[in-house]
A and B are shown apart, each in its own frame.
Chain A
């Protein structure tokens, strides 16, 4: 297990290196510079700023300098918020993003599992139909539309939750709901298909032949076996949440890294874009590592040889 983890962490570092390299050069190929829209600056001033941030050096030198910084945990200085270190900016903003992202993921997956299982167990009844309609709706409505609808009805009309801003749990509810929609719908759809499949398998038939009741069959045999493929989609769902958060955080004015990322792209804030890309990438890598470990916990067939006899 330790050997396996070490190997995986090495691959994660390799991935991060490749991703940061690609992002670095892609950004250099992007049209415009951080100072494109600063018409008031004279060429002399611009040159001075370039020199200050090291942008006057050849691209490969900039790359090496940047890489050396990253290894030491230094992501450079943000262009838009002068003199603030990118690592500090990210550190102070990652909290809200993790909260609404995590809440959205957990809520979406759990409700999705219940909805999908219900649909499968009560297949071809009104419960199944309702579950299918809910997941189709939630997967088709883009998160920004849902966000605005939530703001209007739950925030403005019913006044249950604050429309935007940040401060305490109540402020996290609407963004969490907006983010949970997509994982909820995806999980419900997958779970239903899987569960229907599992419920028609031979070992469920054997469980019935043992005299196990309906609840026992689902709880002891069907649930765990249906979960195996669901773990596979946790990775893509995390990506959904991440991209969703960029829009949702903007709509709800959540001071998170998603909102920060969009702002940085709009202002060509190279160090911040780079830093956030690496953070997003690292988060996804960790989620994938966790899902692989979960696989082993749930499915004995793919448990690592060191773990079983």
Chain B
């Protein structure tokens, strides 16, 4: 596609895990692009393969992971072909990562100043004093007060939110081109969550980094992401801009995810959930992996895997419901509400072409 703007291109990635029980097909043909300066959110249930995907980009999958095919192109180089030593040079320099739990991701016996300065010393070959000075700047940038004193503190002397700020400082100290954030706010309470997300957006604008944001919290996605990829059972099932995914979702799994997210308009006593559990990836089902849990499933879903159908230039979904031959299905009520909202959105902002496209969609529904 638009090659100049893409900083990372993942193509047909397949990853298996060898376990005693057999081969787990954790990633089954995943492709996506990451553009310069954008935030791409990858959402999905636990075990859908979000983390394994990003671990492969970092080259940090566990030893029993086997790459079964595909490429991860970064600066015209395939990261999957690099040796561990070569990846060491990229990690923490060009690609950095923020982890889920700030309470455990800092070394408890090392002063935080040293922990922040470490990537500078490793990659830029900086002298101690210079690296510490820059670490101090970074601490101020992520909003740690009294940075001059606190640079000599240990992690246990900071709160969870402050620790996540430190983890962000460590990740961004080398101004990486790609930042992978693996559920960076899941372990924090809600008010701190909002602060951390604001900080990430602010810093992203400042240092112009691209973010891959992994989460299962769609509420976070709405405020954070430019584009969203929905993963299910080791595959991306739908991707598009954040508005397209939130207000014009096409895949029944995305419908389910959106419906199980409480909103201001949620009424009634019970929050809907997606029935059943994700399939066993030791032996992935034939056809659409979501079929067994999908009340909109067609007969073909159990036989043949759906290809991606184009919804718009930026929006694709892998569901047979988009096939012209498919019977007309009415999505759940809440989704129709969302689509009405989307229609308003697009009328206001988007050009004629898209408008007609949406009307087509609505006619179809």
Contacts and interface: CB of A to CB of B under 8 A. Distances in A.
Interface of A: 201-203, 205-213, 216, 220-221, 224-225, 228, 298-301, 308-309
A224 B153 contact: no
Contact of A301 (B60, B93, B149, B156): B156
Given A202-B99, A209-B171, A211-B88, 8 more contacts: A202-B101, A202-B105, A205-B60, A206-B107, A212-B122, A299-B109, A301-B108, A301-B154
A99 B91 CA distance: 49
Contact of B88 (A213, A228, A298, A299): A213
B306 interface: no
Contact of A209 (B89, B97, B149, B153): B97
A207 B58 contact: no
Interface residues of B, number: 33
B118 A203 contact: no
B110 A221 contact: yes
A210 B96 CA distance: 7
A309 B96 contact: no
B41 to A, nearest CB: 20
A201 B109 contact: no
Contacts of A224: 109-110
Interface of B: 58, 60, 85, 88-93, 96-97, 99, 101, 104-110, 118-119, 122-123, 149, 152-154, 156-157, 167, 170-171
Nearest to A302: B156
Would you call the interface of chain B mostly helix, strand, loop, or mixed? mixed
Contacts of A212: 88, 92, 118, 122
A303 B89 CA distance: 36
A210 B91 contact: yes
A309 B101 CA distance: 25
Report, nearest first, the 10 A-B pairs whose CB atoms are least far apart. Answer: A211-B92, A210-B92, A211-B91, A202-B104, A300-B154, A202-B105, A209-B97, A203-B107, A210-B119, A206-B105
B97 A201 contact: no
Contact of A216 (B60, B104, B122): B122
Contacts of A203: 104-108
Contact of A206 (B123, B156, B170): B170
A211 B90 contact: yes
